[in-house]
Amino acid sequence: MSLLGIDMGSGSCKAVVFAAEGTILAQSAREYATVSPRPGWAEMDPEVFWEALVDVTREVAARVPSDPVEALASAATARR
């Protein structure tokens, strides 16, 4: 059994797969840009988040085929 942790931030999406005892089995990250149409504003296309999430999840899952992911934890963070 392995565990998948995902951190979806305002500048990147990161994924890490851990073995049940805590050993890191695989990790991946994708960066993306925030659009600032005017000072103090920040916008993101939801498709950018989705594509990054799918990419990192597929990448780490492919690296641990003998230890399938059975649990997921996620966090969302934003830069200030």
pLDDT, tens digit, 9 for 90 and up, residues 8-48: 988 999 999 999 899 999 999 999 988 888 998 888 889 99
CA 50 to chain centre: 10
Domain-located, residue 34: yes
Domain-located, residue 15: yes
The pLDDT assigned to 1 comes to 84
Domain count, the chain: 1
pTM comes to 0.82
Domain-located, residue 77: no
Domain-located, residue 78: no
CB-CB neighbours of 56 under 10 Å: 24
Domain-located, residue 65: yes
Domain-located, residue 80: no
Residue 7 has pLDDT above 90, yes or no: yes
CB-CB neighbours of 5 under 10 Å: 17
Which residue matches tokens 């649990």? 71
DSSP class of residue 34 equals P
Separation CA 25–CA 63 (nearest Å):
8
